[in-house]
Structure 1
């Protein structure tokens, strides 16, 4: 076999994968395969391309290649980027393995839900791969071919499927509800589409709660806080608020309020729900300025935290009733 790699110590992936003047057909075959997989290749793929085990060991020993798992080789030096980490997971997982979880959802556009751990689905007919730091390999009897995205690389679940499967695994039901609200709020799909896919997946943990959540989202709630407000009102007999109302502040800028109720005296009560990031000093000052700009003789603005809404809804509902929020019809 022709050895035509760059000198040891070269850390540029493109240079090591590029065609060389003396490259023969055997070497060009593995180069094409590695290039299609972000520079990663399995030992089995190398053998199929005619690369001998001794040649692989030599390139690793001379710091031209790296062994990132017992089965997967990087044909370059240096750290893996995010795309290469995903390729490492599916190649180590074996034939038919798919990136799942929130990494598959990120490939589909989901933002602000990143997790370091990469989840990989493995066909039940394969052995469970050897453990790999930063990865979780799950064997499944599901038909992974039917779950695979036809548009995204590396091989991964369709983002909607990945979100539903990940949501079903969570112990904290608020996390389950939060990710479902996020994919709809970010306009990656609709609640109705999620419900249809959920029905097609069969039995899943938390499926009943996910259906309730998606039904509420389809009715207009776009975030976990809005879902919590709706639930609080239903449990304590309060009228459901109008959500995300478009308002103009004192400077003429467009604002959207979280929840509003029309009171009996004609005034409007506004409830703003603050998440954890609202506790930061700059955000807190911005919120105070926003409240002043939205306030007026006919508008009362009150605030609560997301934690209070989650853990103390009875007290909040009592305060809202005292302020004049009407009871449900």
Structure 2
């Protein structure tokens, strides 16, 4: 047995080693027992030990689940997306995808999710950590989360934060058949592909389709009166050749600093032939018809007028 080899393996796995890995390196049960008794190592599960005795940090907990199960188990769901840089969606527990036939004991800080799908195909081969790729991680979570709005919001977030693209998600969606909510996700991803950046913009797209109204141009680049480049959430060309702009405000816009910035932004983007109005993401979610009525009163065009313009 080479202690240096074990040390290197543990270092690559955030200090954790599976007992099966130790056996393969010639470290027998007696040696493991002695290390544990001397408190140089610590038992983390029935199948995993650590070469340190302090608490597990988040990175070590990510390793614990896959090492405990073995096989093709991978970190998945929001935990995999967190590793890839997703912001604003962190959960305390680490999610690990395991084969549906495997018997797994519960571990603190880890949630095991069973699936009949081929996990080897989901694995990101560029990662040392057993980790699901962005696309299956996002789609599986979205397909089975209890909240449809959370599911749609996640798909918008992974694209908006540039972890993947609508095209890659749509391709993965085909290969994951059957998947719960697949038809809904296809529509959502087409909206995102068309420029929708948030759940509120997806709500607006559905509202337009429900009323047979032309979808807006999204994230239009405009220079304000101070010469600063701005991106407008939603923009329509009206029949009289004027422009109607809808800016959608999330909750953070209510903070004083953002509120004042928004007023300055609207003032500097306003001008002859451009009407700028605002609504909150809450209004689009809870009072969409009232928002539509206000836009229609301002001349929101139907599909034919949009096509002609």
TM-score (norm 2): 0.90
Q: 1:159 to 1:203 in 2, by over 3 A?
A: same
> Paired residue for 1:14?
none
> Paired residue for 1:83?
59
Deviations 1:23-47 (A, max 9, x none): xx44334223322322101233334
Distance (Å, rounded) in 2 between the aligned partners of 1:211 and 1:244? 21
Which of 255, 270, 280 is residue 295 of structure 1 equivalent to?
270
Distance (Å, rounded) in 1 between the aligned partners of 2:214 and 2:28? 73
| Larger mean Cα displacement after TM superposition, 56-65 or 92-101 | 56-65
How far does residue 233 in structure 1 lie from its aligned partner after superposition?
1.3
CA root-mean-square deviation? 2.1
Which of 13, 16, 33 is residue 37 of structure 1 equivalent to?
13
How far does residue 301 in structure 1 lie from its aligned partner after superposition?
1.5
Q: Does 1:51 find its partner at 2:35?
A: no
Q: How many residues align?
A: 304
8 Å contact kept, 1:93–1:137: no
Distance (Å, rounded) in 1 between the aligned partners of 2:101 and 2:212? 53
8 Å contact kept, 1:107–1:159: no
Deviations 1:224-277 (A, max 9, x none): 222211111111233322211111122111111111122334432211101111
Distance (Å, rounded) in 2 between the aligned partners of 1:245 and 1:124? 46
Secondary structure class of the residue paired with 1:261: strand
Secondary structure class of the residue paired with 1:283: helix
How far does residue 109 in structure 1 lie from its aligned partner after superposition?
4.0
| Larger mean Cα displacement after TM superposition, 218-227 or 56-65 | 56-65
How far does residue 289 in structure 1 lie from its aligned partner after superposition?
1.8
> Paired residue for 1:241?
216
> Paired residue for 1:120?
96
Q: 1:235 to 1:132 in 2, by over 3 A?
A: same
Ranges in structure 2 where 5+ consecutive residues have no aligned partner = 305-309
> Paired residue for 2:68?
92
Distance (Å, rounded) in 2 between the aligned partners of 1:311 and 1:263? 26
> Paired residue for 1:326?
301
How far does residue 54 in structure 1 lie from its aligned partner after superposition?
4.9
How far does residue 159 in structure 1 lie from its aligned partner after superposition?
1.7
> Paired residue for 1:6?
none
Secondary structure class of the residue paired with 1:199: helix
Distance (Å, rounded) in 2 between the aligned partners of 1:242 and 1:159? 28
8 Å contact kept, 2:61–2:110: no
How far does residue 297 in structure 1 lie from its aligned partner after superposition?
3.2
8 Å contact kept, 1:273–1:305: yes
Alignment map for 1:1-329 (pairs within 5 Å): 25-127=1-103, 129-329=104-304
How far does residue 62 in structure 1 lie from its aligned partner after superposition?
4.4
Q: If you compute each CA radius of gyration, which structure gives the higher value, 1 or 2?
A: 1
Distance (Å, rounded) in 1 between the aligned partners of 2:273 and 2:39? 72
Distance (Å, rounded) in 1 between the aligned partners of 2:49 and 2:256? 48
8 Å contact kept, 1:274–1:305: yes
